Structure 1
Amino acid sequence: MDASHAFQRRVIADIEDQKSQIEQLYASLEAEKERTEQLLRSIMPEAIAEELKATGKVRPRHISSATVMFTDFVDFTKSTQQMNPVALVRMLDRYYGAFDEIVAKHGVEKVKTIGDAYMTVAGDLNGAGHLDHVAATCAAATEIMAYVQHNLDRTAQDEVAGWGLRIGIHTGPISSGVVGTKTPSFDIWGDTVNTAARMVSACDENTVLLSADTAALVKPRERVAERGDIEAKGKGILQVYRLLTS
């Protein structure tokens, strides 16, 4: 009888041990799933991430009105030629980490970084249809510029001063989608993207430059000032405006 009870206790103990192991494995898998989903949401809009997770693909979207922003550090290539690579990455990480927090706060989506260029888009990417994408982008641009100007005279641990910044913004139609299978990435295309890039190329240091299409949608109108005309590659003569950030 005692031997039978001892055997039952061992069986129950083994079952409880296996149950505990399964629960731990399940918790570990759930935590890993959450980390994966957080990573996915950090590199593309939430609705697009959900579609990719559910179907394994994302249908291309045409958005009739969106606002695209580029930021660009002034004289970046020249000023970083003699920089320690580790120090350079550390500084970019500090700046871009701050930019990420700022754009997320205003409901603007980061698209990607290309060297020292930082690209965002705002519009009806998630089908919600409620975001004032011009106001959101201008608010993000104003805060980003303030952050960079605050850091201009700050000396990092690597003893390299901060960089000046220029920002270009344009509003118009875009196409968006996810490309790639092994490492899928969210991206946007269209003339609006090209025009926003032309805005930042023509921009002065520590200035936010707006296309006429974007400036026409800024409220109140007193927040913009005429900058004059620029000749943009592939675009001809464009009228542009400065966003008054202070």
Structure 2
Amino acid sequence: MLVVIRKMFPTIILLVLTVSPTLVRASLVNNELSTEDSLDIDASSLDTLDSNNDISKDSEMSREELLDTVTSLKASLNKLEAKVEAIEVLQTSNTLNHSVSRGRSVAFHAANIHGIAQLGVNQKIIFETVLLNLGNGYNNHHGIFTAPSAGLYMFSSSMLSANGASNALFAADIIVNGQLYARLYGKGLHGYHAQGSNTIIANLRRGDTVAVRLACCAGSGMYGGYYTTFSGALLNSCV
């Protein structure tokens, strides 16, 4: 756009020249006077010379006005170029930000719909039904999320206990690279289920892992049917 504006500048000057009738008249009168016989000087010739002097003065004034107009146009052009450059920089920045945001979208949501009759201590919970997996970070075979890009993430898990006499109690951990970040707890009584849930926010590097595992107790069971879920999303990319 800046190149187009610079190319238009000579055209603007030409338009100024075109709309300057005093200059055109002065040029035509000078050409006409040069064709007359310089030796034939009478009263009418003197009048013509006086008129030519007046036109020359008008011509000088028009040149000054033209220079002022050109200077003003140059100043306006410089301001316009600065504004256009600022707009182009802003548009480029917005385009890059939009590309980064779209290119690094990461989110997943998985559920356990079949239930788990018994779990061992430190056993990872498998959420086998994947409903969303932008960025392909979640592995439903191992129950592990692996960060495809660095950034600030949020994770949440909700689990419903079994309701048997021996498997209705559970405590589960949300772990980041094996480190405990939060714990879920539930204890079903008298044939009822119990729900436990928790949420964490973690700053991850690319390749860091997040999972949910049983902390207690051996033999605990999980009820399925979309009551037991694990989800996460990238909140802010590290760029």
Larger % of strand: which?
Answer: 2
More relative contact order, 1 or 2 (CA 8 Å, 6+ apart) = 2
Q: Whose helix proportion is higher, 1 or 2?
A: 1
Larger Rg: 2
TM score, norm. by length of structure 1: 0.27
